[in-house]
Structure 1
Amino acid sequence: SALWRRAVDRAQGRGPARGDLARDDDRPLYWARLGMTRELRTWNPGFRLTERQRDALLGVLERTSRGQSDIDLPGGEARGKGLKRVLLTGFDPFTLDRDIRISNPSGAAALVLDGTVIQTAAGPARVETAVFPVRWRDFTQGAVEEALRPYLPRVDLFTTVSQGRVGRFDVERTNGAWRGGFPDNDNVSRTETVPVADPASQPQWTTTTLPYEAITAADTGRFPVYDNTSVTEIPAGGTDAVVRPDGPTPGSTARAGGGGDYLSNEIAYRATLLRDRLGLRGTLPGGHVHTPVLRFGDGNTDPATGTVTDPAFVRNRLDIVAQVRSIVAVAVSASEPDRS
């Protein structure tokens, strides 16, 4: 818990920076967690510690150091005074075997925005955040539902956020119940239907209730923002996957949502399915936003010879985080969620 709070304080300019990386950098939190995990895995205490107990301790470390146990929404009296409540999630860095220096702007946004109040056209909005690991097994074990279920009935808006395409934001219209097999941070692949509780009632698709028209029409920052309606499906009665630019057709089987077939699509699918199963689809705006890919500056693209940061890298991350904040403000200000 202290690690999460220290990372949030660092990102928001409180206390010492402890290092020479920019304060908004999400990587020190990730690196510190890896170090703590290693120490806990090799800890040899002076009393008997079973592997089950060690795994339980590791689970506590994983959840608390990502802010999942630190969500502190204002009470009902705050809503009565006009304070909106927003829940936002981000992700750890990933594809580190490709480039060990990688940062994730969605994780940086979570650190910068946690516990802050955003001024919107509809009044102030308090934002609470958490981060999730890029691992299939955590999602299989219900980490998303466990973290979000207590809070979705109490918020006015939620958005899951992850890193997506180069040079653009996307509001993902449709999420698919399919894992495409890309390796996670444990180098594990999964190609299967997204495993959820009560699979008999599991839909192939879920949809956003974020106000995508308002978000895409607003001037929220440097990068263009798109309403992404494309999916990949196997049509009813068919056997081959096809891309549908305007969303799924009736009776089709999911092969990729607008956000693809990796964990960004899956967190969007799980969060919106949880929204629907809680009976909140008609009242709670929520969905997924993809940020631009965070890129290093020209001349610093080789992970073998490049530096861990550069001015363009910092500027890009700051611009992305600021635009996430602006998108949240627009979404809060929209009076009604859009319907697909």
Structure 2
Amino acid sequence: MSRKLAAAAIALAGPFVAAPAAEAAPPACFDRTASTTFEESRIDTPALPGGQQVPSALVEAGGFTSYVDGLRAELCRARSVAAAERVLNQRGRVLWHDAVERAQGRLWMGTIERYDDRPLYWARLVGTRDLRQWRPSFAVSDGDRAALLRTFEYASRGITSNAFPNREAVTKVLVSGFDPYQLNNEIRRSNPSGASALQLDGVTFKAGRKTIQIQAVALPVTWSGFNAGIVEDAFGPHLAGDSGGQRADLIMTISQGNRGTMNIEQWAAAWRGGNPDNNNEGTPEPIPPAAGWPQPDPQPEFIETTLPYQAMIDARTTPWPTRLNQQICEWAAADRPTGPVTCKTTGPTPGGQAQSGGGGNYLSNESMYRSNRLRLALGATDIPGGHLHISALVYPADPLVVIDQAFAADRAQTIEQTIALVKAAGASRAGA
């Protein structure tokens, strides 16, 4: 990261310990006793003594308070399910668009630095909670509500608006990041992969005489979201052969990994370990198929990266080392899930059963597996695909400080290195 960029990040990030934000009284069309998800319940996480109520403070500090208040008001004015769907699609698109514009420095919003992904996360979550508790004067079936939630989620995650310019001369790169997670013990969590997605969405750059464009989406940290096919819905339209000029030239899923390293994962595994997600749910099991999308038959136990990993390594980005992570863990044939597990770096054993890829068996592994399983099923073997695990963040030692200069500078450097690695992959794919 340049000194100018680091200085800007630091200047905008001075210890953020503002007073708790006061949430506006909800309009009468909401039933605040209605059920929400466990993830949504974190919106009401109480402040630590002497501190702030972090979720609402981050929404305010990011400049999104008027957005969540406006969505509530528009839902209360809606007079039909169709009208509500239009509101949610439009509001979701605006939320994603404004978050991208804010992240890339074209829109000044709020009081915290532009690399912060948390205001978008919490604003979206307030929207989904409000939609579950919305009680209009007309009937809304469970199916209607589920469809409305999907409309808002896809629009506010960039999935509805991830089209590339219809120009064959442009090399098209599609990437994904993730929401914050592991919030039970650290409500201040950010996710540099989701923050990188905001920085990358819509970016066009030149490598020699080649033009490369990047589109990005943000994925949820929920097994249920993956079960519903959100990964396939995000990547699938850009993998089909008849996609009307929307076919990607390279796909990459990105997530937060271990501190101090940027790992290009060589292998994704067909097993989900079942560690708790943002809804505190999880069951160990094989990764299930995605309804409505083709699947390889038989399902591969492991899928190998086809990213131009050597070009990414040779780009010599900083501050963290970049390497190819070759580790896998597997059961012997027919031993899953109770037999002994063997971990190695020499590739899968013929007939072995996947226990984890190099990046584990959580949702990051599954994002790589699902996107590339679909790539193979659609015959898009000419499109490179794989996963990048980026350095984890270290939070301020004082639990009352939501962001300080050191945290902001560290996150900015990790995000800028992620951008450089994605650009290196795109340039390699373009032949630049």
TM-score, normalised with respect to structure 1: 0.92
Match among 251, 254, 263 for residue 158 of structure 1? 251
Map of 2:146 onto structure 1? 55
Does residue 289 of the first structure (1) align with residue 385 of the second (2)? no
Give distance in 2, aligned partners of 1:237 and 1:136.
Answer: 25
| 1:277-304, Cα deviation, whole Å (9 max, x unpaired) | 11122x11111000000222xxx235xx
Kindly, what percent of the aligned residue pairs are identical? 43
Map of 2:203 onto structure 1? 116
Relative to 1, partners in 2 of residues 1:240 and 1:183: Cα closer, same or farther, differing over 3 Å? same
How far 1:41 moved relative to its partner?
1.3
Relative to 1, partners in 2 of residues 1:214 and 1:37: Cα closer, same or farther, differing over 3 Å? same
Does residue 126 of the first structure (1) align with residue 213 of the second (2)? yes
Map of 1:314 onto structure 2? 408
Relative to 1, partners in 2 of residues 1:199 and 1:219: Cα closer, same or farther, differing over 3 Å? closer
SS in 1 for 2:272: strand
Conserved? CA contact 1:119–1:329, under 8 Å? no
Map of 2:90 onto structure 1? none
Match among 79, 88, 92 for residue 168 of structure 2? 79
Give distance in 1, aligned partners of 2:429 and 2:97.
Answer: 33
Query: More displaced, 114-123 or 314-323?
Result: 114-123
Match among 256, 263, 275 for residue 356 of structure 2? 256
Map of 2:420 onto structure 1? 326
How far 1:334 moved relative to its partner?
2.3
Map of 1:234 onto structure 2? 331
Does residue 246 of the first structure (1) align with residue 346 of the second (2)? yes
Letter in 1 for 2:350: P
| 1:95-131, Cα deviation, whole Å (9 max, x unpaired) | 0002000000010011111111133246221110101
Does residue 301 of the first structure (1) align with residue 379 of the second (2)? no
Letter in 1 for 2:388: V
Conserved? CA contact 2:296–2:373, under 8 Å? no
Match among 180, 188, 192 for residue 105 of structure 1? 192
| 1:33-92, Cα deviation, whole Å (9 max, x unpaired) | 1111121111111211122211211111111111110102011xx233xx2111010000
SS in 2 for 1:130: strand
Give distance in 1, aligned partners of 2:318 and 2:379.
Answer: 34
Give distance in 2, aligned partners of 1:289 and 1:311.
Answer: 26
Give the alignment of 1:82-93 within 5 angstroms: 83-93=170-180
SS in 2 for 1:150: helix
Give distance in 2, aligned partners of 1:237 and 1:143.
Answer: 30
Map of 2:14 onto structure 1? none
Q: Which runs of 5+ in 1 are unaligned?
A: none
Map of 1:143 onto structure 2? 230
Map of 1:169 onto structure 2? 262
Conserved? CA contact 2:212–2:427, under 8 Å? no
Does residue 183 of the first structure (1) align with residue 287 of the second (2)? no
RMSD: 1.7
Which structure shows the bigger proportion of residues in strand conformation?
1
Match among 272, 290, 301 for residue 204 of structure 1? 301
Conserved? CA contact 1:211–1:336, under 8 Å? no
Larger Rg: 2
Q: Which runs of 5+ in 2 are unaligned?
A: 1-92, 241-246
Map of 2:49 onto structure 1? none
Letter in 2 for 1:28: P
Conserved? CA contact 2:249–2:429, under 8 Å? no
Does residue 45 of the first structure (1) align with residue 136 of the second (2)? yes
Does residue 32 of the first structure (1) align with residue 123 of the second (2)? yes
SS in 2 for 1:32: helix
Give distance in 1, aligned partners of 2:296 and 2:205.
Answer: 38
Aligned positions, number:
326
Map of 2:368 onto structure 1? 268
Map of 1:7 onto structure 2? 99
Relative to 1, partners in 2 of residues 1:218 and 1:57: Cα closer, same or farther, differing over 3 Å? same
Map of 2:25 onto structure 1? none
Letter in 2 for 1:33: R
